[in-house]
Structure 1
Amino acid sequence: MSSLAWIDFDEAERQRAQRIMALFQEREGRDELGLGAIRDSIADHLFPGTSTIQTRLRYMLFIPWLFRMLEARDIPESQLRAEARALEIRLADALKAGGESNSIIGRDAGPRLQRLPSSVYWAGLGAWGIRLFPGSTDSLFVSLRSLKRLRVSSDSEDAAAGPRAAAIWNQSLPQAPKDLLDRAVFRLAADEAQFIIDRLVATQPAALLTLLAREGINADCDHIWTHPHLASFPAPARRLIHHGEIFSNVMHGAALLYNLVLSELRSRDDWAEDYRERIATWTAEVDLSLVRNWSLDDFWDAVEHPGHSIRPAAKRFVMQWLELVVENSTQIASAPAARQLVEERERRLKTSQSRYANHAVRDRWTGASGVNRLNFRWSQARSHLRDLADAE
């Protein structure tokens, strides 16, 4: 019997592609200069299972609760998919009925909702061991009937020897509220928060997110490197945060220069002036002594992650930009070498869709692409930690 036939051939690649496609739809998630693999490597070390499109933590429970409602249904795959979608849309209405107004996925879209909560949280559910089924939502719908038969077969065997291949969700998942689809709230119950913490401890023991969740450390700071408890973090986390701070600060200048040049090409003097001012501010804030002593070799060693492949071209771009910053940071906005480096990088990445080369694409540009400093999903991690701290 081929009990693994329902697993996607390469689910990791599928989920990575879906995540990248979703990020390109977000203003602040755009990766115009090909730094995404580096950014995500750091984020996945520190805050695994998070993504920039997550909103509130209780969706990590909402999704399995909704899908469990369908597991006993003996209906065709297409109907399962349609009913799952309907449940996720009903959840948005239930959250509004429960008094929530912000962070609701699909709050305004209703039946027109394109990005379902399950697609936003599916990878995180797997990373935290809440979801045991290794495939995508589509493969789950395809496999649900055979999984149910497998589960029945398991129940008839000795508990110690029976197969566990039919498990979809962690067996310790808390029970769903009876009125989930009538009135729902984002506040976690105490046992729900403990379940999530337990899952993090079991599946991501070395992650900073797990330490902060387990110890109940919650702080309202803009960047992880300004966290008031930074000095007490484990050494590997401090090392990565140190590298992440420098990388974020240094490469922010490249993003600003890219936007400045596009503003000039669009003949938008107002936009260009704004970016010149922002580059001047960035120049004044860059700690050149810190940058000069920054070890790229140690940086590449620290950020290496099995889920991400950082291409040599990306490493070369970072190295060349770093050299330009050290040599000529005060004149970076007008430096020909800096402008050429950024242009060549974008042209290689986007080819025919390059905003430098394609007038139609450039004319659709709205004035800002990837201009926010990289914070490696700290905003989402901070929100999740706050939800854990507020559990009752």
Structure 2
Amino acid sequence: MSAIGWIDFDEAERERAQRLMQLFTERDTRDELGLGAIRDSIADHLFPGTSTVQTRLRYMLFVPWIFSQLTARSDAREVAEQARTDQIRLRNALVAGMQDNGVIGVNAGSKLKRLPASVYWSGLHTWGIRRFPGSIEAYAASLPTWSRAVAKDHADDDHSADRTQSTPWHPRLPEAPADLLQVATFALTDEEAAFIVDRLVDSNPDSLLAFLASRDGRADADDIWTHPHVADFPSVSRRIVAHAEIFSDAMYGASLLYNLMLSERRGNADWVGRYEDQLAQWRQSFDAARLQNWSLDIFWQETGHPAHQVLEPTRRFVSEWVELLRATRGLGRDRRKADAMVETRERRLKKGQSRFANRAARDRWQGSSGAYRLQFRWSQARRHLDDLARG
């Protein structure tokens, strides 16, 4: 049996490790060809503080409300247990409030393993709502050192700047509803919605998320580049969105080819037919002329993000794949070079667990791995914007 562990040096390392663990469990983070660092760099430029496991926006308030009301105890384990109990109570309160979409743990109940705090903790810091710099465990351990009055003090604007370092949550955090853990809904009040918009604009003023949140930028668009007001986006965001569209379209072909190759190795005619049809549709819609004019040098420069390191083998694979698409105008009839490129990439990433090299791993394959266009967390951002607009 294999295991993955890390030494908890700081919050940034913890968050990187948690993102790694999510790769094994979340559909939208499946990264069969090692493109995750590029995908997340673009997503963090456009929609900072979001993640693929976030559900509803009001959790950005639920979590600080619960943690700000924790009672200091001498044992950090008791604090952590109380936090868990209250998050389960929140789940029950949302069910009692007839919330049927986005409740974390709605089916797991008291057996819930991934609590809301673990899902939103990083985003709360990115948005400037959480001032405490450490992990959830560090918060529980530090709680006894704060007075309850300071921990719950969110008023008195004249002194809020002085309390920044001693207050774990933003001093203007709206008051929690009195019946929060009895009956709760995802509906934001006007004050709560304004608070979230202010935090986004203050903490990430150049992000597309802040721009859309401050302008009711919700839209029924499957991809951010099909947003009806994309022409009105700030110039930097508009360029990154254009890069995202081209990159997503180009690498979608590689993902489809990967699934087709595995289907052929498995000898499943239904799967083969499905991916052949999808590849044919992709070729038909592929904008070869736009790819010809796309500068990879500018792409790397404008989408790079300090939180994500794109390694040289990944850059090389993307560059070679783009050159192949340019030469064949979207994969020609001869697949040999494309097949070799995709198989070599997967073998180098997975090594002994490669589905091309490991028969047992290939036999466990269920017929689909990352066979979708990258969305860069737009679906999560869109739901947050919908919740915000209702508020």
Instruction: Please state which band the TM-score falls in when normalised by the shorter chain.
Output: over 0.9
The answer as to whether partners of 2:131 and 2:165 remain within 8 angstroms in 1 is no
Which AA in structure 2 matches 1:42?
I
Report the Cα offset of residue 315 of structure 1: 0.8
Instruction: Provide the C-alpha distance between the structure 2 equivalents of 1:378 and 1:241, rounded to a whole number of angstroms.
Output: 11
The answer as to 2:86 corresponding to 1:87 is: yes
The answer as to 2:17 corresponding to 1:17 is: yes
Report the Cα offset of residue 163 of structure 1: 7.0
The answer as to whether partners of 2:286 and 2:330 remain within 8 angstroms in 1 is no
Instruction: Provide the C-alpha distance between the structure 2 equivalents of 1:169 and 1:310, rounded to a whole number of angstroms.
Output: 33
The answer as to whether partners of 1:100 and 1:186 remain within 8 angstroms in 2 is yes
Distance 1:282 1:91, change over 3 A: same
Instruction: Provide the C-alpha distance between the structure 2 equivalents of 1:268 and 1:160, rounded to a whole number of angstroms.
Output: 64
The answer as to whether partners of 2:325 and 2:331 remain within 8 angstroms in 1 is no
Instruction: Provide the C-alpha distance between the structure 1 equivalents of 2:364 and 2:334, rounded to a whole number of angstroms.
Output: 25
**Local SS of the residue matching 2:98:** coil
Residue number in structure 1 paired with 2:140: 141
Report the Cα offset of residue 186 of structure 1: 0.4
More displaced, 8-17 or 287-296? 8-17
Residue number in structure 1 paired with 2:353: 353
Q: How does 1:41-190 map to 2 (within 5 A)?
A: 41-70=41-70, 72-148=71-147, 164-190=164-190
Report the Cα offset of residue 275 of structure 1: 0.5
Report the Cα offset of residue 328 of structure 1: 2.3
Instruction: Provide the C-alpha distance between the structure 1 equivalents of 2:186 and 2:208, rounded to a whole number of angstroms.
Output: 23
Instruction: Provide the C-alpha distance between the structure 1 equivalents of 2:221 and 2:354, rounded to a whole number of angstroms.
Output: 36
1:275-318 Cα deviation digits (max 9, x unpaired): 11100100111111101111101101110111111111111101
Instruction: Provide the C-alpha distance between the structure 1 equivalents of 2:66 and 2:387, rounded to a whole number of angstroms.
Output: 20
Distance 1:166 1:160, change over 3 A: closer
Which AA in structure 2 matches 1:354?
S
Per the normalisation by structure 2, the TM-score is 0.92
**Local SS of the residue matching 1:84:** helix
Instruction: Provide the C-alpha distance between the structure 1 equivalents of 2:367 and 2:132, rounded to a whole number of angstroms.
Output: 42
1:139-172 Cα deviation digits (max 9, x unpaired): 11122223449969x9xxxx69977533210010
Q: How does 1:118-267 map to 2 (within 5 A)?
A: 118-148=117-147, 164-267=164-267
The answer as to 2:387 corresponding to 1:387 is: yes
**Local SS of the residue matching 1:52:** coil
Instruction: Provide the C-alpha distance between the structure 2 equivalents of 1:356 and 1:272, rounded to a whole number of angstroms.
Output: 16
1:80-115 Cα deviation digits (max 9, x unpaired): 111111111111111010011111110000122111
**Local SS of the residue matching 1:134:** coil
Report the Cα offset of residue 195 of structure 1: 0.3
Residue number in structure 2 paired with 1:296: 296
Residue number in structure 1 paired with 2:3: none
Distance 1:333 1:78, change over 3 A: farther
Report the Cα offset of residue 49 of structure 1: 0.4
What residue ranges of structure 2 are gaps of 5+ in the alignment? 1-7, 154-158
More displaced, 374-383 or 136-145? 136-145
**Local SS of the residue matching 1:54:** coil
The answer as to whether partners of 2:260 and 2:275 remain within 8 angstroms in 1 is yes
1:34-84 Cα deviation digits (max 9, x unpaired): 1111111111001100011111000000001111121x3324111111111
Report the Cα offset of residue 9 of structure 1: 3.1
Instruction: Provide the C-alpha distance between the structure 2 equivalents of 1:112 and 1:149, rounded to a whole number of angstroms.
Output: 30
Instruction: Provide the C-alpha distance between the structure 1 equivalents of 2:87 and 2:49, rounded to a whole number of angstroms.
Output: 20
Residue number in structure 1 paired with 2:38: 38
Which AA in structure 1 matches 2:306?
P
Distance 1:277 1:333, change over 3 A: farther
Residue number in structure 2 paired with 1:307: 307
The answer as to whether partners of 1:41 and 1:307 remain within 8 angstroms in 2 is yes
- Quote the RMSD (CA, aligned, Å): 2.0
The answer as to whether partners of 1:55 and 1:104 remain within 8 angstroms in 2 is yes
**Local SS of the residue matching 2:28:** coil
Residue number in structure 1 paired with 2:376: 376
The answer as to whether partners of 1:127 and 1:203 remain within 8 angstroms in 2 is yes
Instruction: Provide the C-alpha distance between the structure 2 equivalents of 1:330 and 1:19, rounded to a whole number of angstroms.
Output: 32
Report the Cα offset of residue 23 of structure 1: 3.6
Which AA in structure 2 matches 1:81?
A
The number of equivalent residue pairs is: 378
Report the Cα offset of residue 331 of structure 1: 4.6
Distance 1:166 1:279, change over 3 A: same
Instruction: Provide the C-alpha distance between the structure 2 equivalents of 1:75 and 1:356, rounded to a whole number of angstroms.
Output: 54
1:3-22 Cα deviation digits (max 9, x unpaired): xxxxx633112112102312
**Local SS of the residue matching 1:28:** helix
Which AA in structure 2 matches 1:176?
A
Residue number in structure 2 paired with 1:4: none
Instruction: Provide the C-alpha distance between the structure 1 equivalents of 2:345 and 2:178, rounded to a whole number of angstroms.
Output: 54
Distance 1:160 1:290, change over 3 A: closer
